[in-house]
Amino acid sequence: MTVEEWTAVRLSLLVAVTATAFSLPAGVAVAYLLARGRFWGKSLVDTLVHLPLILPPVVTGYLLLLLFGRHGPAGAFLERSLGIVLAFRWTGAALACAVMGFPLMVRAIRLSIEAVDERLESAAGTLGANPAWVFATITLPLCVPGVIAGAILCFAKSMGEFGATITFVSNIPGETQTLPTAIYTLTQVPGGDAGALRLTLVSVVISMAALLGSELLARRIGARRMAT
Amino acid sequence: MSLDLEVRHSIGDFRLDARFAAERGLTALFGRSGSGKSTLVNIVAGLIRPQQGRVIVDDQTLVDTERGLFVPPHRRRLGYVFQDARLFPHLSVRQNLLYGRWFAKDGDGAAGDFSSVTELLGIGALLKRRPDSLSGGEKQRVAIGRALLARPRLVLMDEPLASLDEARRAEIMPYVERLRDEARVPILYVSHSVAEVARLATTVVILSDGRVTAIGPVLDILPLADAGDGGAVLDAVVDRHDEAFGLTVLHSAAGELQVPRLTAPAGSHVRAYIRARDVMLSLSRPSEISALNVLSGKIAHINSSGAQADIRLDCNGAVLMARVTDKSVQRLQLAPGRPVFAVIKSVSFERS
């Protein structure tokens, strides 16, 4: 593999891990709110979360560019107050991946929270646990398999995200060129077939490893729970 | 230790309008399913917010709708034992038991040190197990221990034996009795089983269609209960065991009773629940008869319904119920005040 190809692989992993790690706490919070909360505008929040799933990725990427570009309202604010620039940087690629993976993550976690018996939560309440403790000691441990599944989905989506990423942060080698955009670039130049194939294999291996890893983790947690 | 409650609450067509007070001991909320027992307990626990009313435990007001006061469940310090144990599946038995205690460090409620509670409930050998490997009876005992260790001021039990079979019920009842007598924490116990109430209750509150229809000591109240399967409770003391015939002789206010061999030692207090349909009436003392128990008494009241009559007897101050046909009432000319003999076969007693 060439140096450029290795860079693309490393960058893809960095972007996917960052996107997953930063969206996980928010994903759990939103999933809990949607699963257990009763508030005005819940269906609006639900729709908003699912929007990246139904919009064309290019549209999501363009909206991100409008919002988080250097002259966009959110982008300008972040640059002025925190010195963070997202447009055409790898951090922007991570944001695009996080947004695209968010609905998948929330969906998986929400389903597993809904599967937790609410009667156990009320039992914990009668034993003196306030709602935050009930969540931390009962709800969260019982929905860990769903949280793992949600994180893996988000990671996998991030590894493969193309449309929103290329629209928002372009395809700059060494800065924003991830695996999918690198493969796309290689297929556009004469003699790039071999490189594209190598990267495709790497992509397959990473995705399978992530899936296997999550299976093993879920099984180990399940086994610990069944142990007598 | 006391509970004072007055609530009005409607769910759909069902209207709950109840008020009662409970002191120490075991107070049984008794009634058919749908009479509002569980709703009432859930209101005390704070899992249901009543539309109107007050709930006071000791001197702390937990709910007062007029003042807009509602203490959330986790600040009430009540132990709740649910019908379906509700043990936490991801925690061991020990962790389940300690769950509530962790939040009640500064508690001053019922003494609940770990070893005495596990000993009281006989669950010391289960501590390392996971809830899904326990039998129904074991689960329920762990659930009782978990509620006790949260140092509650009042223990709520919502049909804790209803999901268990006869053998498991018999296994748990002695533990509930010990809890009542030794742990000195008041218990509010929901049940629709006469046998449970007869054996466990100190005070009975009868609930019917969301209203309290009677309240008082179990011996006075249970005969009034419209339980479909009427009967009466006799307080008795074990006098001696007749090993040759496998019988136990009990002393009660109504007279001597011979029942199938009990495990309780001589001198211990027991309760005999005598079903109305197991009691036969005779105008003269029957002599050559297989039944071993003949108690003399007077008819106190006759409640005739259709072809059957429920007759309340006064046997030397103790209440006994007998169910006979209307035909027998007329043939023997039974009427209030008439002296009769109640005949009860020893084999009709069930051990519980």
SS3 A57: helix
| pLDDT recorded at residue A228 | 36
- Model confidence band, residue A131 (pLDDT cutoffs 50, 70, 90): very high
Nearest C-alpha neighbor of A31 from the set A154, A152, A147, A165: A147
Q: How many CB atoms lie within 10 A of CB A6?
A: 11
Nearest C-alpha neighbor of A23 from the set A51, A41, A58, A49: A49
> How close is the nearest chain A Cα to the Cα of B164, in Å?
19
d(CA B189, CA B206): 12
Residue A210, φ and ψ in degrees, nearest 5: -60, -45
Residue/partner pairs of B213-216 with CB below 8 Å, 24 or more apart:
B215/B20
d(CA B60, CA A64): 55
**Cβ pair B103:A129 closer than 8 A:** yes
**Cβ pair B99:A130 closer than 8 A:** no
d(CA A113, CA A135): 10
Q: What is the pLDDT of residues B160-181, one digit of tens each?
A: 888 888 777 877 888 888 888 8
Total residue length of chain A: 228
| pLDDT recorded at residue B150 | 87
**Cβ pair B146:A225 closer than 8 A:** no
Q: How many CB atoms lie within 10 A of CB B271?
A: 19
- Model confidence band, residue B229 (pLDDT cutoffs 50, 70, 90): low
Q: Which whole number is the average pLDDT over B70-75? A: 92
Q: Which whole number is the average pLDDT over A103-128? A: 94
Helix (H) or strand (E) holding B54: strand B52-57
Residue to substitute from B70, B75, B103, interface A, most A β-carbons within 10 A? B103
Q: Which residues, at least 6 apart from B66, have a Cβ–Cβ distance to it below 8 Å?
A: B54
Q: Do the strands B78-81 and B154-158 form a parallel or antiparallel pair, or are they unpaired?
A: parallel
Q: Which sign, positive or negative, has the C-alpha torsion A145, A148, A150, A153?
A: negative
Q: What is the pLDDT of residues A156-190, one digit of tens each?
A: 999 999 999 999 999 999 899 999 999 999 999 99
Percent of chain A with pLDDT over 70: 97
Q: Over 60: is that where the pLDDT of B93 sits?
A: yes
| pLDDT recorded at residue A139 | 94
Q: By mean pLDDT, which of A123-132, B103-112, B131-140 is the weakest?
A: B103-112
**Cβ pair A228:B103 closer than 8 A:** no
Q: What is the pLDDT of residues A71-85, one digit of tens each?
A: 889 999 998 898 888
Q: Over 80: is that where the pLDDT of B102 sits?
A: no
Q: Which sign, positive or negative, has the C-alpha torsion A44, A47, A49, A55?
A: negative
Cβ atoms of B155 and B185 within 8 Å: the answer is yes
Write down the pTM of the prediction: 0.78
| pLDDT recorded at residue B224 | 67
For the record, the structure tokens of B334 come out as 């039974």
The more confidently predicted of residues B183 and B274 is: B274
Put residue B194 in one of left, alpha, beta given phi > 0 → left and psi -120 to 50 → alpha: alpha
d(CA B82, CA B310): 35
- Using a CB-CB cut-off of 8 Å, the residues of chain B touching A124 are 88, 99
> How close is the nearest chain A Cα to the Cα of B1, in Å?
19
Q: Which whole number is the average pLDDT over A141-169? A: 93
Q: Which of A125, A130, A228 sits opposite B133 (nearest CB)?
A: A228
Chain B contact for A140 (CB, 8 A cutoff): no
Chain A contact for B76 (CB, 8 A cutoff): yes
Residue/partner pairs of B207-211 with CB below 8 Å, 24 or more apart:
B207/B18, B207/B29, B207/B30, B207/B31, B207/B35, B207/B36, B207/B37, B207/B40, B208/B31, B208/B32, B208/B35, B209/B35, B209/B36, B210/B14, B210/B15, B210/B16, B210/B17, B210/B18, B210/B35, B210/B36, B211/B17, B211/B18
Chain A contact for B47 (CB, 8 A cutoff): yes
Q: Do the strands B3-11 and B14-22 form a parallel or antiparallel pair, or are they unpaired?
A: antiparallel
**Cβ pair B72:A125 closer than 8 A:** yes
CB burial of B116-144 (b: ≥16 within 10 Å; e: otherwise) equals ebbebbebeebbebbbeebebbbbbbbbb
Nearest C-alpha in A relative to B128: A228
Q: Which sign, positive or negative, has the C-alpha torsion A128, A130, A135, A139?
A: positive
| pLDDT recorded at residue B2 | 82
ipTM comes to 0.82
Cβ atoms of B160 and B188 within 8 Å: the answer is no
d(CA A26, CA A32): 10
Cβ atoms of B35 and B210 within 8 Å: the answer is yes
Which amino acid would we find at residue B45? A
CA A184 to chain centre: 22
> How close is the nearest chain A Cα to the Cα of B80, in Å?
7
Determine whether B150 is exposed, middle or buried from the number of CB atoms within 10 Å of its CB (0-12, 13-18, 19+): buried
For the record, the structure tokens of B352 come out as 């519980």
Chain B contact for A116 (CB, 8 A cutoff): no
How many Cα atoms are found within 13 Å in the side-chain-facing hemisphere of A61? 18
d(CA B224, CA A83): 80
Q: Which residues, at least 6 apart from B56, have a Cβ–Cβ distance to it below 8 Å?
A: B2, B3, B4, B5, B62
d(CA B149, CA B172): 18
- Using a CB-CB cut-off of 8 Å, the residues of chain B touching A117 are 86
